[in-house]
C-alpha cells in the first residue's frame, strides 16, 4: 500500500503525516508513507487545497486534517 501526504510543509501537513504514520502503526500494516512537497506533483493529482491524503493513487482527503479514527477508516476501506 502506498500512502501519500501532499503538502507544502506547513504545520497541518506535518500533523497529517504524523497522524497517518500512527494509523499505519496501529493497524499493523505494510505501507509506504510518502511526504510529497513538490507543488507541481501535488497540482498534478488534482488537489488544490492542502494537506492532501492519497491512498494507492486515490485522493481520500484534501484541505483538512482528518483525525486518527478517520485516517484508520480510510486505510481499512482500501485494504
Catalytic: which of 10, 11, 27, 58?
10
Does the active-site annotation cover 13?
yes
For 41, 49, 59, 71, the CA distances from 68, given in Å and listed in that order, are 25, 20, 17, 5
∠ CA(8), CA(79), CA(31), 5° rounding? 45
Does the active-site annotation cover 10?
yes
Catalytic: which of 3, 5, 6, 13?
13
Residues annotated as catalytic are 10, 13
Amino acid at each position: 500500500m502506498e500512502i501519500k501526504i501532499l503538502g507544502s510543509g506547513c504545520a497541518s501537513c506535518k500533523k497529517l503525516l504524523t497522524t497517518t504514520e500512527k494509523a499505519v502503526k496501529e493497524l499493523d500494516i505494510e505501507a509506504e508513507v510518502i511526504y510529497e512537497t513538490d507543488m507541481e506533483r501535488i497540482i498534478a493529482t488534482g488537489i488544490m487545497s492542502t494537506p492532501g491524503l492519497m491512498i494507492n493513487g486515490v485522493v481520500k482527503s484534501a484541505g483538512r486534517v482528518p483525525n486518527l479514527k478517520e485516517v484508520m477508516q480510510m486505510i481499512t476501506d482500501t485494504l
